[in-house]
Amino acid sequence: MKILNIVDVNIVKVVLSKYYIAKEVEYEFTYPDVSSARKHIEDFKPDIIVIQSRLMYTDVAGFLNMMEIEINSDIVVFMIQDDPELKKELEGPLSRYKSVNFATRDNFINLFDSILPKKEPFPEQPLKKGAEKDSRKSLLYVDDSPVMHHFVRSALENSGYDLIEAMDGEEGYLKYCEHLPNIIVTDIEMPKMNGLDLCRKIKENNKGRFIPIVILSSKSQPVDIDTAFNFGADDYLVKPVTPEKLIEKIKDYFAVLDRKKRNKILVVDDSKVSAEMITHALTKNSHNVIMVPDGNEALEIAVKERPEIIITDIDIPGMNGYELIKQVREKPEIKDVSVIMMSNRDKKSDIKKSEKLGVAKYFVKPFDIEKLVIIVEQLLLERYNIYKKEYEYMLSTIKALITALEARDEYTKGHTHRVSKYALMLGSYMGLSSFELDKLEIAANLHDIGKIGVRDDILLKPGKLSDDEYASIQEHAVIGAEILRPLNSLNDVVPLILFHHERWDGAGYPSMIKGNDIPLGARIIAVADSFDAITSDRPYRKALPEKKAIEIIKGNIGTQFCPKCAEAFLELSEKHSIISE
């Protein structure tokens, strides 16, 4: 089976190529240029021609007629959006062709599944005994260039990632089976097995687990990039690449993995078979799934767990799906949850009723589980994009506020920025997830917000503080927590601000808690805050050198500072100057 795709919109290429990869077909892409398309048809002799419903220079029928050659292929018109009027307009002019089908992003899978042969997967490589199935923050790099291995090794040196290396495709696949890394970065041209075949083999034999594969290659032509995506690659970087660009790309994909594990999906269905199938498909894709058979129980769990998505049948015990979603919309803490509804009912009235309740998608049983998974991914991505925008806006507002507050004291200008920088360096080195780093960044930027409630004559006093004045300074942690406590979006951040002056031995303030009872983020901020305080000018003394600050932190491991955080900070300082970072 051969398929020629005449398209000029990248999203169409991505949709089609992701589907084709697992099928036993030959396929090519070409732009809607008449001479190029004619040559492809004559040389490639496709069984099917896929052509966009909207072309840049002419209509579909006119374009096919302009090629002035006999076309014996089936025609599939790919509609980016379902357009009944355009479909009706094209049916007449295209009626002379062998067979014409209209496909959209919603139905093209069913259409192609009905006409394309199934492909047998590669023989499965057995996992080695003891292989970890959920190795945290591990990355496999595959390339036959020792120079590139040195480059990647150096770029990731202080990133907190576990780097696994292979020198060719075959070794890369064996290392994949042995370690099951979270992310794979690979070159294309390598001995024994090239990067494209490695990519295809991994994608088809990964037990359904989401594993991002990034191609890092010197091939920069559009056809090379298209081919890589056709083989299942998730991203493409062109050599040479800067260490910063590589790290940024890797962080992006670890953020995706982190969201998948953290996001909760509530599946409500009293059919055990249906619920198990949905749960299995979502779990395979690394999602965190809660399965409930009853509407009343589902509402209780939704309020308690606050899922990002609820997938519910209509006809369930306790309360039906409509009543469940109505109740959900009335609960302030979960009213914005995304909802997918499924049912045997296929009446328009049911679909309309679900739309009024803000249901994102309505599936009529039986349906393709893979389509459900795709919709779940889209909804989660939309929610994340909203969160990211809100987070960036909040952070910029916070930084503006802190800049204004620090203007009252020339000695602490830039203190918040530096503490945030040091805390994020340490948090990344210790392997915190992207979500944990987001919380840490906000907390580090707000750790001294409570000093707004401390009088200037105390805060700026150049001499030694009295006991009462020192007690007033200590209150800033509590004041900061109280200022932020009404903000629900900062619930996870407040403890980091409240406890950032606690000590590992319990002699800190304000609560005198100790050890692991102190949140990890607060322990990290404590190290960063102390380091900057030691290396900065203060009203009562001049800054001390970085080396002296490191010695002070080392001397207080296990008393003032958490051993895990302080030792990681010392390791980081041995590799690079903290201040110059």
pLDDT given at position 388: 73
In a domain, 523, yes or no: yes
Q: Are residues 421 and 560 in the same domain?
A: yes
pLDDT value at position 126? 44
Q: Is 401 domain-assigned?
A: no
The per-residue pLDDT for 246 is 85
The answer to whether position 121 is within a domain reads no
DSSP track, 96-150 = TSS-EEEEETTTHHHHHHHHSPP-PPPPPPPPPTT--SS-TTEEEEE-S-HHHHH
Phi, psi of 413 (to 5 degrees): -60, 130
Whether 429 and 547 share a structural domain: yes
pTM (predicted TM-score) = 0.49
Q: Are residues 234 and 327 in the same domain?
A: no
pLDDT, residue 240, reads: 84
Query: Are 109 and 152 found together in one domain?
Result: no
Instruction: Tell me the three state secondary structure of residue 339.
Output: strand
Do 189 and 116 meet the contact criterion of CB atoms below 8 Å apart? no
Both structure tokens of 499: 């406890």
Output the pLDDT for position 436: 84
**Per-residue DSSP letter, 561:** B
**414 and 502 inside one domain:** yes
Q: Are residues 357 and 432 in the same domain?
A: no
In tens digits, the chain (581 residues) has pLDDT values of: 889 988 877 667 766 766 675 566 778 888 888 888 888 888 888 888 998 887 766 777 778 777 777 788 888 888 866 778 878 888 777 877 878 888 887 777 778 877 776 544 444 444 443 333 333 578 899 998 888 898 888 888 766 678 899 999 899 999 888 888 888 999 988 988 898 888 888 877 765 566 888 888 888 788 778 888 878 788 888 888 888 888 888 887 777 777 666 778 899 998 877 887 888 778 766 677 888 888 999 998 898 888 888 999 998 988 888 999 999 998 888 888 899 998 888 888 888 888 888 888 898 887 888 788 888 888 887 877 776 777 777 778 777 777 777 666 665 678 888 899 999 989 888 878 777 888 899 899 888 888 877 776 666 666 677 777 767 777 888 888 888 887 777 788 889 999 999 999 998 888 888 899 999 999 999 999 999 989 887 666 688 888 899 999 999 999 999 999 999 999 888 877 676 54
Check residue 133 and give its pLDDT: 39
| Rounded-to-integer distance, Cα 499 and Cα 522, Å | 6
Q: Is residue 402 domain-resident?
A: no
Name the DSSP letter for residue 557.
Answer: B
Statement to judge: residues 448 and 487 lie in one domain: yes
Decide: 132 and 180 in contact? Cβ < 8 Å: yes
Q: Range of 510's domain?
A: 408-575
pLDDT for the residue 18: 61
Question: What CATH number corresponds to the domain at position 97?
Answer: 3.40.50.2300
Asked if the structure places residue 391 within a domain, the reply is: no
HSE (side-chain half, CA atoms, 13 Å) at 454: 26
Yes or no: say if 306 and 338 are a contact pair by the CB < 8 Å rule: no
Q: What angle do CA 293, 294, 298 make, to 5 degrees?
A: 100
CA angle 198, 202, 206 (to 5 degrees): 175
- Which residues have C-beta within 8 Å of that of residue 158, sequence separation ≥ 6? 425, 428, 429, 572, 575, 576
Residues 64 and 183 in one domain: no
558, 505 contact by CB (below 8 A): yes
Per the structure, how many domains does the chain have? 4
